[in-house]
Amino acid sequence: MRPAAATRPHLAAVPSTGPSAAPDVLRVLVVDALPLAGFGLRALVDSTAGLSWCGAVNNIETALSVAARLRPHVVLIDSCLDPGASGARSLLATERVGTVIGLVHNDNPQAAQYVRAARASGVSGLVARSSAPGVIVAAVRAAHSGRPFLDPELAGLQSALAVETEHRMPLSERQRQILHLIAQGRRNGDIAESLFVSVETVRTHVKEILRRLGAHDRAHAVARGYEAGLLGKR
């Protein structure tokens, strides 16, 4: 196959498997600037039962177009192509994409900032680009199942992020107490009764917790709370 010109988006061969594929087969789209990375990931997808290749593109704009046609279950995005995770957010907003996984350059000085932005944008999995194939497959399956996935190779970034988050987004003692109760699955009425306060007071605290943690809903706040070390270990 003749390589695409540098100024044109690279799109690897799209398989015959499209939106009509069997529901137990996960369609995977890759967004990466390096064609070689796309070839490697395609070999991994093609050799893994239950995964189907949608293609590889080298920019978010083309990814949006391909996602509209093929509705991938999982999109893998090179963190250097989407440093602020705005592309991931745009893909998820289309509702044509099941979930997004960030491929992180963990030796990049901005890697921790990317991890924070990706989490805030709804990215479900974070994998180091240097990770073994099995880790990538595990991330794809976990993310598609709705389970957050963090590559063990990124644990150092996670620790640094937790410390930074603790300083940048502190919660009051009452807010931490409410966050713990939210993590237990308690609703506002139950929390208000437990703490002997009004439901409106709880709602105000919950809104502030979401704001301080940069979370878009209660479940996301709990995830951010674990990341920041506010809820201990899972």
Span 43-48, average pLDDT: 97
Distance CA 150, CA 189 (A): 33
Q: pLDDT value at position 232? A: 67
The structure's pTM equals: 0.62
The CATH architecture one would assign to domain 169-227 is Orthogonal Bundle (1.10)
- CB burial class (10 A; 0-12, 13-18, 19+) of residue 173? exposed
Span 112-125, average pLDDT: 87
Summarize pLDDT for 91-100 with one digit per residue, the tens: 999 989 999 9
All CATH 1.10.10.10 domain ranges in the chain, comma separated: 169-227
Q: pLDDT value at position 23? A: 53
Going by C-alpha positions, the residue among 94, 87, 93 that lies closest to residue 102 is 87
Q: Which option is the CATH number for 26-153: 3.40.190.10, 3.40.50.2300, 3.30.429.10, 3.40.50.150?
A: 3.40.50.2300
Span 27-54, average pLDDT: 95
CB 25 within 8 A of CB 17: yes
Summarize pLDDT for 209-218 with one digit per residue, the tens: 998 888 889 9
* Sign of the alpha-carbon dihedral angle for 154, 160, 166, 169: negative
All CATH 3.40.50.2300 domain ranges in the chain, comma separated: 26-153
CB 126 within 8 A of CB 118: yes
Looking at the predicted structure, is the pLDDT value of residue 8 above 50? Answer: no
> Residue 86 in 3-state DSSP?
helix
Q: pLDDT value at position 22? A: 44
Instruction: Read off the tokens for 182.
Output: 């939210």
Summarize pLDDT for 161-175 with one digit per residue, the tens: 555 555 455 788 899
Summarize pLDDT for 55-72 with one digit per residue, the tens: 999 999 999 999 999 999
Instruction: Read off the tokens for 142.
Output: 């976990």
93-97: long-range contacts, CB 8 A cutoff, minimum separation 24? 94/64, 94/67, 94/68, 96/67, 96/68, 96/71, 96/72, 97/29, 97/67, 97/71, 97/72, 97/73
